[in-house]
Amino acid sequence: DAHMADIEAMIDAHGSNLLGAVTFMIPRLEEAIERLFRLAERKGWDLDFHVDETHDPAARSLDVIAETAIARRFGGDILVGHCCSLTRRNDEEIDQAIERVARAGLSVVSLPMCNMFLQDRLPERTPRWRGVTALHELKAAGVPVMIASDNVRDPFYAYGDLDMLEVWREGVRILHLDYPFAAWAPAVFATPAAAIGVDAAALSVGAPADMILTRARDFTELFARPHVDRTVLRNGLLVEEAAPDFAELDDLEGLAP
């Protein structure tokens, strides 16, 4: 229809190969998801879904996406984000959903800071639930998993700073991504890089010297003081610029006088 034609034209105009969508438990959800898959197949696009960001255990768009991918034998990449309500189901239902996700070849990204901040949020009531998805179980099932920071200084999450080290630190606290710490390092490095088609070179002779150096002797020291004594190298050169003052960013936020 006209709406889908507009979406197709917009993506083409940007030279992109990625179709994104936000899913809700709407009437005829299966039909809507099918239409997105058909368009992606025709254009050779990958898919990126904002999925089940809710406390409602009846939210099952994750299942619909996985089942559609399996049924259509979709050949592109599929990323699903949030998947918060998965952990509101019982253990048997969680296991069944994860099996579908793994079989469908989906990749999952959790947004621990904004998910914990937004989910189970009611006035004058202490939250009972962290809001994050079943990342440990997904990883154990062989699903590529990653963590990120979704909203950054916007109405949904006003406290982000585009800092992946902060994301990793808070992911350790919120999702228990420790002991061993190193087992989860790919979730903030190699796995998301692969998901967007970027070669995440390892530390090796001849590889680009793009890295952050700290004086921390172990992960506990790193996460205790993540903003102290960072040295940033880009292509082997020291990056000396400091983070901008917030006042310098007012034009970006529409706050400048």
Q: Report, as residue numbers or ranges, the catalytic residues.
A: 53
Q: Outline where the chain has alpha helix (H).
A: 2-13, 29-43, 61-72, 91-104, 112-118, 135-140, 164-175, 190-195, 219-224, 250-253
The region, left, alpha or beta by phi > 0 then psi within -120 to 50, assigned to residue 171 is alpha
Q: Please state, in angstroms and rounded to a whole number, the distance separating the CA atoms of residues 29 and 67.
A: 12
Find where tokens 């999450």 sit: 157
112, 172 contact by CB (below 8 A):
no
Determine the 3-state secondary structure of 132 from DSSP. Answer: coil
Q: Please state, in angstroms and rounded to a whole number, the distance separating the CA atoms of residues 41 and 103.
A: 19
233, 115 contact by CB (below 8 A):
no
DSSP for residue 244: P
CB neighbourhood size of 171 (10 A) = 27
Q: Please state, in angstroms and rounded to a whole number, the distance separating the CA atoms of residues 172 and 27.
A: 38
CB neighbourhood size of 225 (10 A) = 13
67, 80 contact by CB (below 8 A):
no
